[in-house]
Structures are given as structure tokens and as C-alpha cells.
Structure 1
């Protein structure tokens, strides 16, 4: 299933962003492409016009898809041959998505990498990171079970808010900030508060937002982990929420906050949280990779792909642990337990890796050790 989800996301991004097909049309062809063994732009490019036209019966559309696949494949090949070439950048979006995208498209674009590694393979993986992105990963995974109705945009925003709150608490403990300054930052007066990984987070309700707006009828893709679960009794779910950037509020004069409209409250954007997560994990070098690195630095495209794979591995490891406990714990208990897991596996300066500054090692086997024994 993880492989199918990853391939579906890859094809959807390619067809809708690179080939410029309407999302509904793209989704209608994903299954046919997978059945034909065309799982990525490179496969489509190598397939040739006859194979592609057998799926996209309109000759003009078939050529459009094939040309886009060839163009994307050539760009990737060129970036791998020229290490100085920057990887392809994703289009920028606001927290509410681009003006010409639906909420459904916005949520799908925020989907995170999925790992296909088995539990045994994960147990042999060691990553290099620092504490903040690991907090983000734990918060993101535990929210999937404690607040399953929330879409990926909300979970990313809330997780980044947890990272910020944790950093402020650490600053106070080190004497870098006073309790009073943190209290002033955390006012966010009039807004509800929720608790995630032991941190109180001020939130903004998104009353006018439905992540399923724009979703084609009869949608068959496994996207509940992106859009949020539907309630089993079909009752109206809680609205999606943002994590409010209380630090930004603290930096704004109190008089300037009066009369501020809801949508102008500073929030943690899901795009920035996703970007931070995707660049924060790398695989610890073993003997094979050390020999490979001595022959030259990997291309930016390859390095980006490796980082995305690492994110998929760590999220899958945490998810396996959370999933094993969710049937026996309520949301509050799972939240408290998840924080304890993080504390036990967080990278330490003492485990720092030469040449990586403050970053340390995270063994996925240590995360998986908290999986509930059946």
C-alpha cells in the first residue's frame, strides 16, 4: 500500500503540475498508468507515443503528457550530471493555497514521502538530524491518531507550533529568555488552546475551509491520511485549525493587535513546516557510503531524493509505534506517551557526528523498540 500511495502521489504531481492536466482528468488515468507499469515520468518517457496514446486516447493530450515526461526526465538527468545545478523548485503557495487551486489540490500537494521499507529494514537505518525536526516528526505522526479529522495542512501547522513552543521552553531553561517574555508571547488572547506533546498550542479555527472541496466524485485514492478521516457516524467534524505563531504576536505591539481580523493572525504555514522536515534528515554514512562520498559529492537531485527517503523512513517508524498503541490508549494517553518516546530517542550532542555540528544520531531501531507487543 505504501508503494502504491507513493507512486500515486508522484504521478498526480507530474500530470497536474508538469503535464498541466486538470486534476480530475489526471486522477482518472493514474490507475491505468500504474497497471501499464508507468510509475514515474521516466517510465512514461521511455514508453513511447503508442503506449501513452493507448491510455490517453486523445492524441493531443498523449503528446502533451509524453513531451512533459521527456522534459522532466531530461531536467533530472542534467541535474545529476551537473552537481552545481539546483533541483527543480516547487511553485510557491500561501498558507491558504494558490488562488487557482482547490483545497483538495492544496492538501494533496502537501503529502509527505511514504517509505516502502519493511520493519526489519527500518531497524537497520540510522539517521543524522537535530532535535527540532524530530519533535516535528513525532507531533505530525501522533496527531494522525489524536486528531484524525485534521487535514495534513493543519497537522503540519500544529506540529511546527509544537516545535516553536518546545524551543521557547528550552530557551527559558537555559536562561536565554524569561518566563515573563514567554508568557507575553503566548497570549493569543481569545483563541482556543489545545495540548500536543505536553505543549499548550494556541489555535485558529478555519471555519470556511473544507479540505475535500474540489475532490472529484467517486474518488478511489487512499487520501484520508492527507484530507483527514471522515467521522464514522457522518456527524459534522471539528473544523480544520491552524497553529498560531504566538512568537510573532509577542513581537507585535499590543495596540497594533486590536481589531485584527482572524485571517491576519500570524500562523505557522504548512509549506514551511513541510520544507523544514524534508531537508532535516540524512542517512548516517556507513562504509559503502563513505567510499562513495570520497569519490565526489552527490548531485543536488540525488541528495534531495535521499533526504525525502529519510523523512519517509522516520515517519513510518513513528507511525508503526503509534498505530500499535492507538487501540489501547485514549488520545491524551497516546500524546503523553509519544513525548516520552521522543525524549528517549532524541539526538544528543554527545552522540554528535564529526562534521555535522550540533546534529546527532537517531537509530530507528530505538523508535521501533516502543512498538506495543501483540
Structure 2
């Protein structure tokens, strides 16, 4: 099986050198791999008739063949890589954690506080999106335990973004189909995160992605807010089939909206890392930063404040403690259920639990991004007894 770097290099060749739209290029990667047509040299040695079945028309096949021949002529004998020209290194948000590397440790979240009395007495103030993120990160610890924290942050952030976009469409804030609905990311493996079908890519340096394909059961129905949760995936979607934990791949969540914008001309692609990493992802660094700054502790009102009906003050200086209390509540919740339900059921429950405890906000556009109270005692009440 080709390595992740080889797949990304092939995608670069198709989308940049051969000028194949990136959504179509991604859809043909697996078939090219099966035919051992994974380098310009191999493609250049073929012919239009051989390539035609991999593309929608003969013109595209000839276009790919000509690009491969041009590139092969420039290549130094014996060098069959698709590495881009050397360029000056620059800081990038795509300098990502590697297995066992020090940057993985830098993503550590506060140790969960499991003191039930402290948790039950805590009320947080937040908006809804970061609560989805917190639920997702903890849920993935139990539904996909092979995933390192960096991957869980990336996957959970994708679910947050997909949910936020669905809500924005339902409110009329955004219009049109999502990038995933338009086929961006087609062919990339799919996993479920709180009912959302998240497109993924295998992380370089981790275990290979299984080839098996399975169909996911219908799990999620409708959000009480009117946001429809995804129920199934297309037959062509490759999903992760359960295998021993040490054989499962570590994943990044693919940012298909960024992919669409990059290819659509809204930017040149360099801002989402197409030239360096092949595909744009949801980075764990940004997800962690969002989680750590999104919650404040609501202090108990003093007698003076009660008498004068002043607004309750927020304590924002104890961010780590606040997140530790939230994570503790979620850990106790998932610990109580995980031995009794399947991973698929636990994923579905995670969304249902979020809906039951999320902050109350105004209906419609007025509630978009608004903050409200989150009683951690409500999370504890959801535990299995």
C-alpha cells in the first residue's frame, strides 16, 4: 500500500501538474493505486486507453498522460518522487504532532477533576460550539481509543464546524450545499463523530488504513433546533472497519470547506497547506486553544449583587480548573455508560446528551453564538445508574 506521503504527492501531481479538479482527483486515487499508477513515470509509461477508465472522459486521460510525460522528462534519472521544488522554510499551522513527538505532549489537556461535589456545584458560562468540542473529544476517547489526543481534537473540531454550518444554513445565515455534499473529499475515509460523517486522512507515520468497506447504521435523527443530523454515507465512502486497536490508523479530519475554497479560487491554496501537506485539515492546536478559552466559571452572587439585581460576575482567570471540571463531568458520564453500550451507540448518545445539557439561548438568529449557563450537575444526572 502506498504511504501517506506518496498519496499526497500523487494528489499534488493530478491537481497541480495535470490540472484535474481536486475533488475528481481525490476520487480516482484509490483506483490508480490498485493499477500501480502512482507516479508520473508509471503514468507516462501507459497510454490514453489504459488511463481512460480512471477518468470521466478521454480528454482528461490524455491531459494526465501529457502532464506525466512532461514531468518525467524533467526528472533526474532514478528519481521517481513527486517532491515539490525546494523552497525557503516558513512557519506553518501544518507543522503537526508526530507519533511520540514532543508536540503531542504540548496538546495535553488539564487533568479531569473527578470530585463529584465540586462538579455539581459548578456552573459555567459558554456558547454551544465549544461544548460540542468538549463532548466530541471525550467521546472519541471511548469510541475510538486508538486515536491520540491530537487526532481526537482534530476530529471533534470537524464535527463542531459541520454542526455550526448546518445550523447557519437552517437560520439562513449561510446558503447552498456544503463542500461534502458537493463531493469535495469524495473517496476519503469516513468516521462518525457525534453523528457527523467526518472525512479523514491517514496520518503519516502511523498504521495503514484498512481497505475494508462497511455501511454505517442510521443513528442520528433530528436536532430539536431543526438541524438535521446525518444518517448515512454514500456507498463509495470507505469507512473504518473495526480491527485490533494496534492496527487502526491515526487520523486527521479533512477540512473539505477549506479544500473547496482553495480549489475554487478564493485563495491560491498555500494558506491551507496544499503544496506542503497535500490536504487541509482541522489542526489540533487551534482546537485545543478554542477549548481552553471558551469556558468561564459563574461565581455565586453576593448578597449585594442579589439585592441590587446586578448581573452575575464571571471568573475567567481559572481556565484550566474550569476545563478540568468540565472534563471530569464528561469522564464520569462516559465511564458509566461505556461498558454497557457499543461504540456506535455511545457516539449517538453523546449527541443526545449534549442536546439535553447545552446552554439555553434565544431562538433564531438572535441566539447565534450567544452564551448561556451550563450546569455541570446536569451532566452528572445523565450517568447510568
Conserved 8 A contact 1:136-1:159:
yes
Measure how far apart 1:237 and its partner are.
2.6
Aligned mates of 1:262, 1:205 — CA distance in 2: 16
Shift of 1:117: 4.8
- Which SS does the other structure have where 1:180 is aligned? coil
Match of 1:286 among 286, 295, 300: 300
Deviation string for 1:157-190 (max 9, x for gaps)?
1111010000111112112333424545662122
Q: 1:235 to 1:199 in 2, by over 3 A?
A: closer
Match of 2:202 in 1: 205
Distance 1:290 1:313 in 2: 28
The secondary structure found in structure 2 opposite 1:202 is: strand
Secondary structure at the aligned position of 1:320 is classed as helix
Quick check: 1:186–1:247 contact (8 Å CA) kept in 2? no
1:237 has 2:247 as partner: yes
What is the aligned-residue RMSD (CA, Å)?
3.1
Contact 1:281/1:311 (<8 A) preserved: yes
1:172 aligns with 2:172: no
Match of 2:17 in 1: none
User: Paired residue for 1:34?
Assistant: none
Query: How do residues 267-278 of structure 1 correspond to structure 2 at under 5 angstroms?
Result: 267-278=281-292
Q: Distance in 1 between matches of 2:112 and 2:282?
A: 26
In the alignment, what sits opposite 1:308? 320
1:363/1:271 CA distance change after superposition, 3 Å: same
2:96 and 2:283 in contact (8 A); partners too: no
Distance of 1:267 and 1:143 partners within structure 2: 18
Mark the CA change 1:143 to 1:253 in structure 2 (over 3 Å): closer, same or farther: same
Q: TM-score, normalised by structure 1?
A: 0.58
- Deviations 1:130-177, CA, capped at 9 Å, x for gaps: 000000000000000000010000000111101000011111211233
**1:247, CA displacement in angstroms?**
1.3
Alpha-carbon distance in 2 for matches of 1:102, 1:246:
24
What is residue 9 of structure 2 aligned with on the other side? Answer: none
Secondary structure of the structure 1 residue equivalent to 2:252:
strand
Which residue of the partner structure matches residue 3 of structure 1? none
Question: Which residue number in structure 1 is paired with residue 329 of structure 2?
Answer: 317
- Where does residue 213 of structure 2 map in the other structure? none
Structure with max Cα Rg: 2
CA contact (8 A) 2:292 2:320 kept: yes
Q: Secondary structure at the match of 1:329?
A: coil
**How far apart are the structure 1 equivalents of 2:157 and 2:334?**
19
More helix as a share of residues: 1
Unaligned residue ranges in structure 1 (runs of 5+): 1-91, 211-232, 352-356
Contact 1:320 1:371 in 2 (8 A): yes
Q: Is the 8 A contact 2:336 2:383 kept in 1?
A: yes
Aligned residues: 243
1:112 counterpart residue number:
109
For 1:115 and 1:183, the matched residues in 2 are separated by: 35
Alignment map for 1:16-165 (pairs within 5 Å): 94-97=93-96, 103-165=100-162
Q: Deviations over 1:47-85 (max 9, x none)?
A: xxxxxxxxxxxxxxxxxxxxxxxxxxxxxxxxxxxxxxx
Name the CA distance, whole Å, in 1 between partners of 2:278 and 2:382: 41
Is 1:327 the counterpart of 2:324? The answer is: no
Q: Mind listing any 5+ residue stretches in structure 2 that lack a counterpart?
A: 1-90, 208-242, 364-368
Cα 1:277/1:186, change in 2 over 3 Å = farther
Secondary structure of the residue aligned to 2:373 is: strand
How far the C-alpha of 1:239 sits from its partner, in A, is 1.6
Does structure 2 conserve the Cα–Cα contact (< 8 Å) formed by 1:185 and 1:246? no
